[in-house]
Copies of this chain bind each other. A is one copy, B any other.
Amino acid sequence: MKTYLDCIPCFFKQALDAARLAGADEIVQRKVLISLANELENFSLDSCPPQMGKFIYNRVRKITQKEDPYKKIKEKSNKLALGFYPELKEKVKIAEDSLLFSLELAIAGNIIDYGVKHSLDVDKELDNILAEENEAIRHESKAIFNYSEFAKELKKSQDILYLGDNAGEVVFDRILLEEIKRMYPNKNILYAVKEKPIINDALAEDAYMCGIDKSAKIISSGCDSPGTILSICSKDFLERFKSADMVISKGQGNFEALYKKSKRKVFFLFMAKCPVVAADIGCNIRDIILLYGF
């Protein structure tokens, strides 16, 4: 996805939030904003938004001199999400369509990120997302939800590559991957995480902490931007991305990085968190999306 001018005010908001979450004082926060302002003229709108995300968080890291300023937040998210795991597994068991329900959960997991950052009541938010009587009725009301294609591709694919998003929500990905493994025990699943700390994106340590290794092999994308930007991924990862029978991309960051930037079809699973993305694909903010496209 390209960067829209509307993303620019939001970059400044993200930079301020990032500096604050890293514990920076007001002087340092201002420095981060000014360094972003000074970069603006050089930034091409043809770049995807996570490219600027990478710049912002590298500045925060450099100016605050903290290698992984969000480490504690990530751990907190993992613990919070793991607390929901047993109850959610029970819900999957009694769901009419457990694959569809697991997909919804995986997307709903995005709110863990919101929850930790904005003190949302995660429990209540999950209830809201799963409010309709059952997943089939919810499915009907969704703007973009290519579920039948997903089920069909899943059935015939042997090698599946899943691109993780944030710490914490990894637990929700795990539930989906466990459901896939329950249905198709012989499929090979790779779960890709970021190579280096970038905001609260999941690293290998988060994936292990959240128990992903029970159903998938954890690999690194080689990339350290908040979204899988192919041009900075490792050669090894790019080969796997190309050769996988099915790619599932999780979260808005990965969508922003890959949508209209990749030569292969991908299942994009995410919650549309901002008006720019919502307008780009034609949905409402906070819609949960399963989009099969390039």
Chain A contacts to B: CB under 8 angstroms? 5-6, 8-10, 12-13, 16, 26, 29-30, 33-34, 37-38, 40-41, 45
Contact = CB atoms under 8 A, between A and B. Distances in A.
A33 B16 contact: no
Contacts of A16: 5-6, 8-9
Contacts of A34: 40-41
Contacts of A38: 37, 41
A30 B45 contact: yes
A9 B10 contact: yes
A79 to B, nearest CB: 30
Contact of A37 (B5, B6, B13, B37): B37
A191 B13 CA distance: 37
A41 B34 CA distance: 6
19 contacts: A5-B26, A5-B29, A5-B30, A5-B33, A6-B16, A8-B12, A8-B16, A9-B9, A9-B10, A9-B12, A9-B16, A12-B12, A33-B40, A34-B40, A34-B41, A37-B38, A37-B40, A37-B41, A38-B41
Nearest to A10: B9
A60 to B, nearest CB: 14
Contacts of A40: 33-34, 37
Contact of A13 (B9, B26, B30, B45): B9
A40 B36 CA distance: 10
Contacts of A33: 5, 8, 40
Nearest to A16: B5
